[in-house]
């Protein structure tokens, strides 16, 4: 169960869906316990449960615990281990109690009881010091677990020598490789643990094997209500909507820029439903969470990272603040104060040559001397700043210069054929690609048009390219790997691009707008799941995907 980590739930779900799951009999003619163990190893937990049902031995309860661990049911697994201890017999020998200790220590760590796991692991290490032969077989695993526990508690200086000693061990030993892998991992360089604790249930529920639902674009309006209900059902008590990026982190989710950005999108998606008291309350709770989270992010040093997602959280929170003020959900004085801070944040994140990017560096030991601005990130932020200025929450002095420098950068990224490069920095060659740009093109042209630097013809041309390549873009949905489509089209921007295409089309005359409606809606509905939610990239997840889809459908379907 430890070896396959967080893949276990997905693998079990895939196995249950397989039409021939469990059809191949377990090889050999061992007793029921041996066959049950083989079924657990194969993930065939129902078959294992039937064989274990009449058995009351310590080994049987240990197997039940391992099956519950695969299902991420920590409490039942710990209870089964307790039953295993009570069922121990002299014939079980000295090794089984030590195995139970190890199983318990890992489980305590998995359910977040890190301090409770230390003394359990120590029992094995103490026995090994007494030259207990059974303990010696498990001592390296116990040492590795202790190192991971120290890392999870932020005690890297304590963990480091343990891992170094393990990594110098026998090359045929599993824990030698595990220690070497940790010492050379990106997580270790970032100072993070290995994510010992399992994610919270509400996060695990956001990573199913998605089944997409064929939906007639002519019935697009009928997809809205189920998506709204899905968003209302998945908001957390503190007002946030979870981001699947939290799965690999033990950090407080209030300190996650992507959770903040997801929450801002979720609240904005429900702003059009304020007549519904539930939606209004959801928006109010999300706003309170988002402003609190943003304040903490300003004052709390975060671990080093290759990427800077603050550009997304600040841009979408600024957009939410402007829209909430205009909708009467937020008092103007509060909105002005929040917007002023957000504009300052975005100013501090601006690249020296103008524009913005979420790329920071390839070497955590130093910042890159020059980092490029990304066309779509710059356009997104320029539009957020422009909306704040239109709502009179930001003036020319605070936002005007930022907008103009962003527009300058965008113009430098626009090629002779009016398509856009992915990114740019002084000295970089500009290499736009029509297919690769087709998703982001409407967004970039919209930002330039709002700044008086593009025309309705350019906007229509960009939307025409979006429509022409829409099926190539939509074909990326459901993939975790990014930039795998023609020209670098990526799954992580399918719904983001559809939203901005819909907003760009809304700027055109009614006849032109109608021409692009169906292609845009087609892309959005390609991402609809059988759960009534939307997802393009599973790593970004359903909450952000559903919010983006609702915003895109609102913009596309409005007359």
* Per-residue pLDDT, 93: 82
Give the pair of three-digit tokens for residue 559. Answer: 């007359």
* Per-residue pLDDT, 261: 97
* Per-residue pLDDT, 331: 96
Binned at pLDDT 50, 70 and 90, residue 67 comes out as: very high
How large is the average pLDDT for residues 221-235?
Answer: 96
* Per-residue pLDDT, 511: 86
pLDDT value at 381 more than 50 = yes
Query: In the predicted model, what is the mean pLDDT of the chain?
Result: 89
How large is the average pLDDT for residues 341-353?
Answer: 95
* Per-residue pLDDT, 167: 95
pLDDT value at 304 more than 70 = yes
Among the listed ranges 227-236, 410-419, 496-505, which one has the minimum average pLDDT value? 410-419
pLDDT value at 112 more than 50 = yes
pLDDT value at 83 more than 70 = yes
Binned at pLDDT 50, 70 and 90, residue 364 comes out as: low
Q: pTM value?
A: 0.85
Distances (CA, A) of 54 to 33, 39, 68: 10, 16, 17
- Bridge partners (DSSP) of residue 423 are 374
Tokens 């196995």 — which residue? 15
Dihedral angle of Cα 406, 268, 281, 528, to the nearest 10 degrees = -150
Binned at pLDDT 50, 70 and 90, residue 15 comes out as: confident
* Per-residue pLDDT, 4: 45
127 close to 214: Cβ distance less than 8 angstroms: no
Residues near 275 by beta carbon (within 8 Å), at least 6 away in sequence = none
How large is the average pLDDT for residues 126-146?
Answer: 85
pLDDT value at 371 more than 70 = yes
- The predicted-structure confidence for 178-217, as pLDDT tens digits, reads as follows 999 989 887 777 665 556 788 777 776 776 778 899 888 8
* Per-residue pLDDT, 108: 94
pLDDT value at 20 more than 80 = no
- pLDDT > 70 fraction of the chain, expressed in percent and rounded: 93
- Bridge partners (DSSP) of residue 212 are 529
Question: Sign of dihedral through CA atoms 235, 241, 247, 252?
Answer: negative
* Per-residue pLDDT, 3: 44
- The predicted-structure confidence for 490-531, as pLDDT tens digits, reads as follows 999 999 999 999 999 999 998 889 999 999 999 999 999 999
| Whole-number Å distance between alpha carbons of 321 and 335 | 6
How large is the average pLDDT for residues 36-41?
Answer: 91
* Per-residue pLDDT, 128: 84
- The predicted-structure confidence for 441-484, as pLDDT tens digits, reads as follows 999 999 999 999 999 999 999 999 999 999 999 999 999 889 99
pLDDT value at 54 more than 80 = yes
* Per-residue pLDDT, 11: 78
**Of 413, 454, 447, whose CA–CA distance to 433 is shortest?**
413
pLDDT value at 292 more than 60 = yes
How large is the average pLDDT for residues 324-343?
Answer: 96
Among the listed ranges 68-72, 248-252, 370-374, 426-430, which one has the minimum average pLDDT value? 248-252
Assign 3-class secondary structure to 112-164: CCHHHHHHHHHHHHHHHHCCCHHHHCCHHHHHHHHHHHHHHCCCHHHHHHHHH
* Per-residue pLDDT, 369: 64
Residue 344 dihedral angles phi and psi, to the nearest 5°: -60, -40
Question: Sign of dihedral through CA atoms 61, 63, 68, 72?
Answer: positive
* Per-residue pLDDT, 177: 93
* Per-residue pLDDT, 301: 82
**Of 405, 395, 235, 377, whose CA–CA distance to 310 is shortest?**
377
| Whole-number Å distance between alpha carbons of 451 and 503 | 15
Residues near 166 by beta carbon (within 8 Å), at least 6 away in sequence = 140, 143, 144, 147, 175, 176, 178, 179
């Amino acid at each position: 169960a430890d070896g396959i980590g967080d893949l276990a739930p997905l693998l079990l779900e895939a196995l249950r869906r397989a039409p021939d799951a469990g059809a191949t009999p377990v090889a050999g003619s061992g007793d029921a316990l041996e066959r049950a163990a083989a079924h657990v190893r194969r993930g065939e937990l129902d078959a294992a449960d039937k064989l274990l049902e009449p058995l009351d031995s310590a080994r049987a309860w240990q197997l039940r615990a391992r099956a519950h661990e695969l299902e991420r049911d920590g409490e039942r697994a710990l209870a089964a281990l307790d039953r295993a201890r009570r069922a121990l017999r002299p014939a079980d020998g000295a090794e089984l109690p030590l195995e139970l200790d190890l199983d318990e220590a890992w489980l305590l760590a998995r359910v977040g009881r890190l301090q409770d796991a230390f003394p359990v692991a120590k029992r094995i290490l103490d026995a090994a010091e007494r030259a207990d032969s059974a303990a010696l077989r498990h001592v390296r695993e116990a040492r590795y677990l202790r190192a991971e526990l120290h890392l999870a508690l932020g005690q890297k200086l304590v963990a480091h020598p343990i891992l170094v000693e393990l990594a110098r061990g026998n090359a045929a030993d599993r824990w030698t490789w595990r220690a070497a892998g940790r010492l050379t991992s990106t997580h270790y360089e970032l100072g993070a643990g290995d994510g010992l604790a399992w994610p919270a249930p509400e996060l695990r529920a956001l990573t199913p094997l998605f089944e997409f639902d064929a939906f007639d674009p002519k019935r697009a309006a009928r997809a809205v209500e189920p998506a709204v209900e899905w968003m209302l059902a998945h908001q957390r008590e503190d007002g946030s909507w979870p981001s699947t990026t939290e799965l690999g982190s033990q950090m407080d989710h209030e300190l996650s820029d992507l959770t903040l950005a997801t929450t801002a999108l979720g609240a904005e998606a429900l702003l059009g439903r304020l007549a519904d008291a539930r939606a209004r309350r959801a928006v109010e709770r999300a706003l309170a969470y988002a402003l609190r989270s943003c304040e903490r992010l300003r004052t709390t040093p975060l671990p080093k990272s290759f990427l800077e997602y603050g550009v997304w959280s600040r841009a979408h929170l600024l957009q939410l603040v402007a829209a909430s003020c205009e909708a009467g959900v937020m008092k103007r004085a509060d909105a002005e104060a929040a917007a002023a801070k957000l504009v300052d944040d975005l100013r501090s994140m601006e690249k020296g040559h103008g524009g913005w990017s979420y790329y920071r560096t390839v070497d955590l030991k130093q910042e890159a001397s020059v980092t490029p601005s990304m066309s779509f990130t710059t356009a997104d932020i320029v539009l957020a700043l422009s909306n704040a200025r239109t709502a009179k929450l930001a003036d020319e002095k605070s936002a005007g210069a930022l907008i103009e420098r962003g527009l300058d950068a965008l113009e430098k990224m626009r090629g002779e054929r009016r398509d856009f490069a992915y990114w740019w920095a002084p000295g970089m060659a500009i290499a736009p690609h029509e297919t690769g740009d087709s998703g982001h093109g409407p967004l970039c042209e919209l930002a330039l048009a709002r700044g008086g630097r593009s025309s309705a013809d350019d906007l229509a041309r960009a939307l025409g390219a979006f429509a022409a390549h829409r099926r190539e873009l939509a074909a990326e949905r459901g993939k975790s790997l990014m930039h795998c489509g023609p020209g670098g089209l990526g799954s992580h921007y399918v719904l983001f691009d559809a939203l901005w295409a819909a907003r760009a089309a809304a700027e055109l005359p009614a006849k032109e707008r109608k021409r692009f409606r169906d292609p845009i809606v087609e892309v959005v509905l390609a991402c609809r799941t059988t759960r009534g939610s939307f997802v393009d990239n599973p790593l970004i997840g359903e909450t952000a995907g559903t919010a983006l889809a609702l915003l895109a459908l609102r913009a596309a379907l409005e007359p």
